[in-house]
Structure 1
Amino acid sequence: MWGKVRDRVAGRLNDALSRSGITVPWWVPLGTNTFALIGLAVAIGQRTAQPVPVLIAAFVLMQGGSLLFLLTGRIAPSWLKSLAVLAGVGVLLAFPVVPDFAPMPLAVLSAEVSAIASAGLAFVVTAAGVGVLAVAAATVGLVGFPVYTLAVLLGLCAGFMLRWYVRALDAERGKQDAVREQAMLAERQRIAREVHDIVAHSLSITLLHVTGARHGLRTDRDVDEAVEALAEAERVGRGAMAEIRRTVGLLSRDSAGTRSLPGTVDIADLVADTRAAGLDAYYELEGDVHAVASAAGLGLYRIAQESLANVVKHAPAETASVRLRIEAGAARLTVRNRRCGGTRQSGGSGLAGMAARAEQLGAVLRVGPEGPDWLVDVTVPLPAEVVS
């Protein structure tokens, strides 16, 4: 029951604060009005011998903002509420008592205005409150003027401290939102690169098998060879679909499966599948592939995958050599092939994906022509304890 009431009050206050352009939490106006109401109730209780119309007038003036909110759901402007509270306190101080709780709402008012309104208005309201106390001390003999003045000044300081806290909190929330958005963008870009590499490589290999099947049927009429090539194309396609599902599954909260992502251990199979599809590809390994961490291994695998896809696309009749050398402090992957007609092999999202992966791994990447060859050379730093 209490939770529902609290949520309703908080929601209504938040709506009113938003309409008024006030950024403080909902409990700030609720707390200040509660303290002001307590002080007013005690002050009126100290003056039960005074005329009832005077006490009612003081109550309406000092709680006019709360009454306006209860009736309309709107928050009174700070300057209007300040004038009403100053007038109400002035009415009560015309009948001083010892000790007097009537100045208490002035301290609360000073704190509230300095927290939600402009600094200029806060200083004006504080000065006006001290002025009301000074007039009461000089005319009707208010006792404790220095103490009440100190309370009003402390309210001013407390309000400015709350203002600073709210601004710092808003800045921190904005920073966290920016970091969250940046992390989400980086994750989307990473998954986009994964899908691109998978699709580019699998389509390249599939096309090689389809081309082989077509060539076998056209030249040799070898149905068995064509069926075998098409079956291999189907296998590659199904494997690519499974890997795409697993990669895209990272976007959801549900588990995408327990199968691990590829790494340096799988580069040999990658080259073998490419060679089986018809590309003249060879693989050379030096060192222990298990010494490469999973993140670095995935990056090297994807770069090799993209490189071979480019060879299939731009120079399918040439020989591709893939060399992986793992030694103390670094793993170096080199993919080299003869350029076909001097054309550029990599560009667009493929080259950009390689560069992005290398940057994430802190690797050195070199892509481009080297004499008659096209070269992809990437060196990934490894922990010093890795020994070839």
Structure 2
Amino acid sequence: MAVDAVIAVACLANAVIQSIVNERFFWYMPLVAGAASAALLWRRRYPFWVTQVVGVCTIVQAMTGALGDLPPAQLVVTYTFAALCPPKERLIAAAGTFVGVMLSVGVPQEKVLNLGLVGIAFTAAYALGVGARARRDRIAMLEERAARLAEGQVAAATRERERIAREMHDIMAHSMSMVVIQAEAGPVAVRTDPDKAEEVFDTISETAREALAQLRRALGVLRAEEGGASRRPPPGLEALPALVDDVRHAGLEATLEVDGEPRPVPSDLAVTAYRIVQEALTNTVRHAAADQVRVRLSWRDGALDVEVRDDGRGAFGGGGGGAGLGLVGMRERVAASGGELAAGPGPGGDGYRVTASLPLA
């Protein structure tokens, strides 16, 4: 507002000085020039209407001969409507300005020679306004792009945190369950079967080391200087036999069955299948009080079906249908792969069964 007030005062002073120099200072001239200059105070809020008010005042000054060679207020509103008006209003204002310039310069015959100078001045004012609008639009576009980029970064960070949380839950829940079970069996084995005790402690050691390696991968703390040899890929379908062996060492009768012809699958889908089996076996070991558990992979034309079924007491820990975080994580993994997951009591209400269908396409 302060800048526009200074511009308005400068335009009024210029109009008065030009009328005095041209010896055309009439009593109404300050009123007309003052109205045109005062309208500039609202040029940013109402550019189209201010352009009309200033245009009328400029034509009145031109018709009475009180207008100088260049109307400063009209130049200012030309810049303003070029910078701020929408396309339709900008076109109307430009046409009106052209007509007004022709009337202001053409009617007083002595000013016809100034047409080239006036045309250049108005063209420059309009071009400056267009440049200002383009710069403002570009800034808005860059700000929007930066906002979208920031939103994308936040979303990516959120997805990464969720991925790490799922990985850590799956790793810790399974590995620590195996360690706890083996550790509880260790003292008994020490007293009754030293060879079995040695095997138990070896299993604890291997399980803990594998959990540590998987945690390091999940958290992304492997350094480049550690070399490529230490960078093992995340576990996939080829690691399922070892996973079933871990459960077997924990005292359950665990089996792995494969139907159909195995085929290469994307690494993310293989990890999803592995984590589903891992979480289901972990829940069986921790909560189901089961004696037997069966893992079954069924290869179909367009999908891989995964089933984990035990003969335990049903819903894990009384959770009823998988209210635990582990099953939530499994559902998220399967949904991200475009598949379907179901968890609930087995046929006839015996035991518990987790099934997932993962599309191979």
| TM, length-normalised to structure 1 | 0.64
Q: Whole-Å Cα distance in 2 between the matches of residues 249 and 160 of structure 1?
A: 46
Corresponding residue for 1:82?
Answer: 7
Match of 1:369 among 325, 345, 353: 345
Q: Whole-Å Cα distance in 2 between the matches of residues 122 and 79 of structure 1?
A: 16
Q: Whole-Å Cα distance in 1 between the matches of residues 354 and 260 of structure 2?
A: 20
**Displacement of 1:240 after TM fit?**
0.3
**Displacement of 1:146 after TM fit?**
4.6
Corresponding residue for 1:44?
Answer: none
Change (3 A) 1:78 1:224: farther
Change (3 A) 1:163 1:132: farther
Q: Whole-Å Cα distance in 2 between the matches of residues 245 and 214 of structure 1?
A: 30
**Displacement of 1:310 after TM fit?**
0.2
Q: Counterpart of 2:46 in 1: which secondary structure?
A: helix
The Cα offsets for residues 156-189 of structure 1, whole Å up to 9 and x where unpaired, read as 4443343333323322221221122111111110
Corresponding residue for 2:284?
Answer: 311
Instruction: Say if 1:130 and 1:149, in contact at 8 Å, map to a contact too.
Output: no
Map 1:145-294 to 2 at 5 A: 145-217=118-190, 220-249=191-220, 257-294=230-267
Q: Whole-Å Cα distance in 1 between the matches of residues 336 and 17 of structure 2?
A: 70
Change (3 A) 1:152 1:233: same
Q: Whole-Å Cα distance in 2 between the matches of residues 141 and 339 of structure 1?
A: 99
Aligned identity (percent) is: 29
- Amino acid of the residue matched to residue 186 of structure 1? R
**Where does the alignment leave 5 or more consecutive residues of structure 2 unmatched?**
23-39, 71-113
- Amino acid of the residue matched to residue 324 of structure 1? L
Instruction: Say if 1:133 and 1:148, in contact at 8 Å, map to a contact too.
Output: no
Instruction: Say if 2:314 and 2:345, in contact at 8 Å, map to a contact too.
Output: no
- Amino acid of the residue matched to residue 292 of structure 1? V
Q: Counterpart of 2:233 in 1: which secondary structure?
A: coil
**Displacement of 1:207 after TM fit?**
1.4
- Amino acid of the residue matched to residue 363 of structure 1? G
Change (3 A) 1:330 1:258: same
Q: Whole-Å Cα distance in 1 between the matches of residues 222 and 121 of structure 2?
A: 60
Q: Counterpart of 1:291 in 2: which secondary structure?
A: coil
Greater alpha carbon shift after TM alignment, 149-158 vs 266-275 = 149-158
| TM, length-normalised to structure 2 | 0.68
Greater alpha carbon shift after TM alignment, 224-233 vs 161-170 = 161-170
Change (3 A) 1:280 1:169: same
**Displacement of 1:228 after TM fit?**
2.4
Instruction: Say if 1:331 and 1:382, in contact at 8 Å, map to a contact too.
Output: yes
**Displacement of 1:241 after TM fit?**
0.7
The Cα offsets for residues 286-342 of structure 1, whole Å up to 9 and x where unpaired, read as 244452211100000001000000001112442110001122111010000113276
Instruction: Say if 1:330 and 1:382, in contact at 8 Å, map to a contact too.
Output: yes
Change (3 A) 1:290 1:342: closer
**Where does the alignment leave 5 or more consecutive residues of structure 1 unmatched?**
1-75, 97-112, 384-388
Match of 1:326 among 299, 302, 308: 299
- Amino acid of the residue matched to residue 194 of structure 1? E
Match of 2:327 among 332, 345, 351: 351
Instruction: Say if 1:126 and 1:152, in contact at 8 Å, map to a contact too.
Output: no
Instruction: Say if 1:126 and 1:153, in contact at 8 Å, map to a contact too.
Output: no
**Displacement of 1:261 after TM fit?**
0.8
Match of 2:46 among 120, 129, 142: 120
The Cα offsets for residues 36-57 of structure 1, whole Å up to 9 and x where unpaired, read as xxxxxxxxxxxxxxxxxxxxxx
Aligned: 1:379 with 2:357: yes
Q: Whole-Å Cα distance in 1 between the matches of residues 265 and 139 of structure 2?
A: 48
The Cα offsets for residues 190-222 of structure 1, whole Å up to 9 and x where unpaired, read as 1110111000000111112112213324xx533
Q: Whole-Å Cα distance in 2 between the matches of residues 166 and 123 of structure 1?
A: 26
Instruction: Say if 1:330 and 1:381, in contact at 8 Å, map to a contact too.
Output: yes
Report how many residues are paired: 287
Q: Whole-Å Cα distance in 1 between the matches of residues 224 and 18 of structure 2?
A: 64
Change (3 A) 1:342 1:77: same
Q: Whole-Å Cα distance in 2 between the matches of residues 304 and 93 of structure 1?
A: 90
